[in-house]
Amino acid sequence: MWDPSETTLYSMMMFLFMETILEMYLTRRQISVYKQCKTVPRELQHVMNSDTFEKARVYGLDKAHYGMFKMIVCDIVILQLELYFGFMAMVWARSVEIAENIGLNPKSEIQVGCLFALILNIIGIFKEMPFKIYGTFVLEEKHGFNKQTAGFFVKDQIKAFVVAQALTIPVAAAFIYIVQIGGQYFFIWLWAFVAVVSLVLITIYPVYIAPIFDKFRPLEDGELKKSIHDLASSVKFPLGQLFVVEGSKRSAHSNAYFTGLFGVKRIVLFDTLLVNKGLPADDPSLSESDKGKGCKNEEVLAVLAHELGHWKLGHVAKNIVIMQLQMFLIFLAFSKLFTYGPLYEAVGLPAGEKPILIGFMVIVMYVLAPYNTMISLAMTIMSRRFEYQADGFAQELGYADELGNALIKLQLDNLGFPVYDWMYSAWNHSHPTVLQRLERLKSLNKEGHKSKIQ
């Protein structure tokens, strides 16, 4: 018979393995759709030609095959081997040795824990880097989306690593300290700390962190800027600044978002969302492939009307509340489980050794994996509902047609494949498919169509 630590280990390994098998099965279903669906759906035949459809089909097929390969290597081979051979315990032991060699206190869990987090992050970079390089310079390059040079990519990775360590290591130190001194109800203090940190990061990220990675420029004065301000005023959105981010230096994919939790907010448009990146058609920086791509002003307004719908309908606030409730429940579960010795022995630690960081990682990543899966699925269902509601908000402002056109145009520009297996989509997509959204907009239009705000 297995002892408790072996039972714990094999239970974790089995669930993670079965979850990966499920995801691979769903991906195989979608691969079958890519292989069998070779004609443009009737709803898109007036805007999508067979050549674009074929490019989107091949792009989706390549991504799906790459995803299958990555799941096999990372989730079945590497993850299972790491668990079985006690990878985290090895890194912790090495962290203790290094701490002693560089003059840190090997008996200080905070100092060793920070070193452990740093080493784990460095190893994670090396594990993930081959996949990032392939995804960027082979997969995305093949289909015309990668805009990064090798130098830009290297600088981007270095900046991302430095910023990540500057944020995670102090948080890890504070995390361990709070558990050590927090007493029986340390999980409440831990939750309060993480809640404050997360809200601070959400607030400062667009102002101080995002500009480290991408160049932002104010949206030029003109008709689009005035129309956006008018739209924001019509729904009482406290718009302060309008920026265009040069996302085209990284990728040809498009997006738009708003930031700011309290008071004045900012709207950020990816330059790839705008026709000709928001530049004059004769601008020398525009390549031939860039010209004509992007959304017209009315379509950009429709996309923003959708995003403002998320704000007006309270989706942002609801997501923050749900996130905080989730964190509270996770910390509560951690407080009840982290003293259970077999959890630590299951990942290779000697009996009696219970590092706080490892306990938290094992509980959140492995013990709570079934719970996390159920919550993720529930959040996906809720997110799709929110997307429909935000589309409805844009329709009420009179942007149904323009939003439909924008969805189609973004689908074409991003080589999005419009046909999905229903099980694959329900599990993986936080947004309804473009065909589902177009159908919903069509039905909303039949029910009633309000005029645009003047």
Which residues are marked as active site?
307, 391
CB-based contacts of 178, cutoff 8 Å, min separation 6 = 186, 189, 190, 193
- Chain-centre distance for alpha carbon 346: 30
C-alpha distance from residue 190 to each of 275, 332, 337, 371 (Å): 47, 10, 15, 20
Residue 353 marked as a ligand binder? no
C-alpha distance from residue 347 to each of 5, 68, 191 (Å): 8, 27, 26
Taking the CA atoms of residue 29, residue 32, residue 33 and residue 34 in that order, the dihedral angle to the nearest 10 degrees is: 120
Q: In which element (H, E) is residue 218 found?
A: strand 216-218
Q: Tell me the C-alpha distance between 304 and 309, whole Å.
A: 8
Residue 387 marked as a ligand binder? yes
Between the two ends of the chain, the Cα-to-Cα distance in Å is 75
Question: Can you state the percent helix, strand and coil of the chain, rounding each to 5?
Answer: 70, 5, 25
Q: Roughly what angle, to the nearest 10 degrees, separates helices 4-36 and 369-396?
A: 40
Query: In this structure, are residues 427 and 20 in contact, taking their beta carbons and an 8 Å threshold?
Result: no
Both tokens of 65, joined, read: 């095959």
C-alpha distance from residue 258 to each of 207, 262, 279, 380 (Å): 12, 12, 22, 21
Q: Tell me the C-alpha distance between 59 and 439, whole Å.
A: 24
Residue 315 marked as a ligand binder? no
Query: In this structure, are residues 377 and 429 in contact, taking their beta carbons and an 8 Å threshold?
Result: no
C-alpha triplet 14, 18, 20: angle, nearest 5°: 120
- Strand pairing report for 256-259 and 265-270: antiparallel
Which residues line the annotated binding site for Zn(2+)?
A: 306, 310, 387
